[in-house]
Amino acid sequence: MDNEHSPHHPLLPAPEDQFPATGNTSAIVSSTKWVLKLAMWVIFSVWMVVIFLYPSSFASHLFSEWFGASGQTLFGITGAIFLTFSAPLLAIAILAAVYLIISRDDQPYERRKKKKNGKEKPRWRLWTLPVLVEGPLEVVTAAELVGILVVLGYVFWAFYSYTLRMLATDFSRNLTFLQISCEVLEVMGLRLGSMGLFCLGFLFLPISRGSVLLRLIDIPFEHATRYHVWLGHLTMLIFTLHGLAFLIQWLIQGRCIEQLLEWKDIGIANLPGVISLLAGLLMWITSLPKLRTINFELFFYTHQLYIVFVLFLALHVGDFVFSIAAGGIFIFMLDRFLRFIQSRRTVDVISAKALPCGTVELIISKPKSLRYNALSFIFLQVRELSLLQWHPFSVSSSPLEGEDRLAILIKVLGKWTEKLRGKILNDKAKEISSDKHQSVMTVSVEGPYGHESPYHLMYENLILVAGGIGISPFLAILSDILHRIRDGKPCLPKKILVVWAIKNSSELPLLSTLNVDSICPFFADKLNIDISIYVTRQSQPPPEGEIQPSKVTSICPLSKGSNMSVLVGTGDNVWSGLYVISSTVGLVILVSLMDFYYINPFNIKKWWYKGLLFFLCMVASVVLFGGLVVGLWSLWEEHISSKRTTHNNVNDIEKVGEDIPKDTLAQKDLNPKAFANSTTIEYGTRPNFDEIVESVAENWGKVDIGVLICGPSTLQSSVAKAIRSHNMVRRRTHHPIFHFHSHSFDL
């Protein structure tokens, strides 16, 4: 291995900052943000205290009086429960929307804190400190572990409190053991149902892809998905025990079939609960890792039963019990409707390329106003391949690379990706054999999604660890940094070490998708990049000693649709904020009108019917009130887009297809020498992350180092283990602090 470019060789010291922070927010804006933060923290803290106290006998007595006193009001007990358990979440969402609106120009990476001597002071962060690196949960950070303990603490506390209250019950001495057992099963079944509803209230939040709540705490959807998985297992376990408790009771009483088919007007309706639980069990079983791996399509299709699950849950418990979990479900409805509208549009594919290393590159047309950062990803649907399947892919181009296009790299790994590559090759063959053949690829897109802020710009020192196609988002990061250096925009990174593990040398040309010379030929004066590549399944280089440049199979253009839609939760803060606020206000208006003009005057008492009406009000508020904002948003964006198109005279898609930037693959071969002067390649070995971390710790000094990983779970675990070992055991006072960031996801 060449020691000059080894990660064990001292790298050049980082130069002084070239781009000081600018654009300080005004005192009024800063004060407003502080007030909003304080208000959200107060609401959240009080809300959590209420949820934790609810199982206790003392709090139960207070809540009973509160709910009883509200029975004569316009909204009745439903309004009281909604105000107690769901309204705080919606209030936080509204405040978060306002906070994001006034923070839209605030760049946290421009406000880095310094020591008095001008050097950056390394800091510990719970979100980036891995503590559990092996096991069923894979890599868990300190902050995630705290969250897990809080949730489990609530479950154990609630179960303990409910058990104490049950034991304190004075059962009649005339009851037999079986009768007492039935009473105990009924009580515990009800309590488990209550616990499950509170878990359900949080279950839908992590999968609200563009949710203002996820954006507020800057947790991207691909990270939050694992929280949905954890909560899903817990929620379905509790609901299953809830159902089993009643099932055993009915079997003991000898009236199982009768109770399973019962549909009461006043009280809990059993049959809708059975249907809801069966839908939930089917989703749960097909989401288990082994079954999901064997048949992903089955998992995807059965997961659409969430509509049946939620609807029949509302019919099962009625409006006032359902309102416990309504807040989180409503946030998900907001996101799902916006995604539905966005995904209806057909998007232009400017070009599609089948690379010789078994990878496909798509370049998609996007509006100039679309907001995303270099670590974003999109969901892609190709209608010629499937009308139902959506697949996530990392964006491989910087938002500064092209105002009207976005690139993604797709590794051929499964049936869907094989079909995509086959279609490109077949269409190219037909195009060559027939001048009249016109390639068609009808594409729809959801997203982009990702971090609210580009956290890769918050570190002066970066280590990018990739496995195979995991290099894709890091190409976008490198491109973004190079463009910022070229354009003189704020950019903190000064040292970057890329560690790339690949199976075969045929994947090396992927590195050439980033044309450094055309972006920023003078980058070496301001940025130090070292690249270490490990070819794990080849013991020796190719016979010629290097990878020869290879032509790519390319076809363009493929479709004549339109740009990607900007209707995405991570898009325009003002419009997305108005969407959340208007829909929430609309829900209150519709429920008020329904209670005032229908439920109260006509004395509607049926629980399941009122649950259905409440659910319909939630849907209608999103479609009607939120849909109005979405319509105005679309008209506004079309107006802005038409003005820009007229000004730039670029409304001919064929011209766009011919004008692909020089730093994409359309006008160049795949040449693996893009970083030849700073790249080392080792054959037949895997990276030793303990050695890499310790070497960097000795050579980079006392700084913060962001470690970004994109690759399989084994790669993440190896890196996390090395970081944990150094940070918690071997770190010395002059060593850096390594911050773990996973960009890997399994959606």
Cα–Cα distance, 552 to 664 (Å, whole number): 12
pLDDT of amino acid 679: 80
Mind spelling out the 3-state secondary structure of 203-241?
HCCCCCCCCHHHHHCCCCHHHHHHHHHHHHHHHHHHHHH
Q: Is the pLDDT of residue 692 over 60?
A: yes
Closest CA to 611 of 273, 263, 317: 317
- The values of phi and psi at residue 270, to 5°, are -70, -45
Q: Angle, nearest 10°, between helix axes 27-53 and 57-69?
A: 110
d(CA 5, CA 1): 9
Coil, strand, or helix at residue 613? Answer: helix
CA trace torsion 288, 290, 296, 297 (10° rounding): -80
DSSP tag of 116: T
Residue ranges of E strands in 64-165: 130-132, 140-141
**Helix axes of 177-203 and 142-167: crossing angle, nearest 10 degrees:** 150
Task: Give the per-residue pLDDT at 665.
Answer: 40
Better-scored residue on pLDDT, 494 or 652: 494
Beta-bridge mates of residue 360 = 354, 410
What is the per-residue pLDDT for 672? Answer: 47
Q: Which residues contact 292 (CB under 8 A, 6 or more apart)?
A: 286, 299
C-beta of residue 682 within 8 angstroms of C-beta of residue 1:
yes
Look at residue 437 in the predicted model and tell me its pLDDT: 52
Coil, helix or strand for 511? Answer: helix
Q: Give percent of the chain with pLDDT exceeding 70.
A: 84
Confidence of residue 430 (pLDDT cuts 50, 70, 90): low
Residue 421, pLDDT > 80, answer yes
Q: Dihedral angle at the C-alpha atoms of 200, 202, 203, 208, nearest 10 degrees?
A: 140
Class of the CATH domain delimited by 346-539: mainly beta
Say how far apart CA 354 and CA 203 lie, in whole Å.
39
Mean pLDDT of the chain: 83
pLDDT digits (tens, 9 = 90+) for 30-59: 899 999 999 999 999 999 999 999 998 888
- Residue 346 pLDDT level (bands cut at 50, 70, 90): confident
Q: What is the pLDDT of residue 199?
A: 95
The pLDDT value recorded for residue 145 is: 94
pLDDT at 6: 39
Three-class SS of residue 255?
coil
Tokens of residue 320, six digits: 């006032």
Residue 117 is predicted with a pLDDT of 44
pTM to 2 decimal places: 0.87
Q: What is the maximum span of the chain, computed from C-alpha positions, in angstroms?
A: 92
pLDDT for the residue 120: 60
Q: Indicate if the pLDDT at residue 4 is higher than 60.
A: no
- As to burial, measured by CB atoms within 10 angstroms (0-12 exposed, 13-18 middle, 19+ buried), residue 16 is exposed
Question: What is the C-alpha to C-alpha distance for residues 710 and 30, in angstroms, rounded to an integer?
Answer: 36
Query: Does the pLDDT of residue 602 top 80, yes or no?
Result: yes
Rounded mean pLDDT of 555-571?
Answer: 69
Neighbours of 519 (CB within 10 A): 22
What the block records as the tokens of 624 is: 């009607």
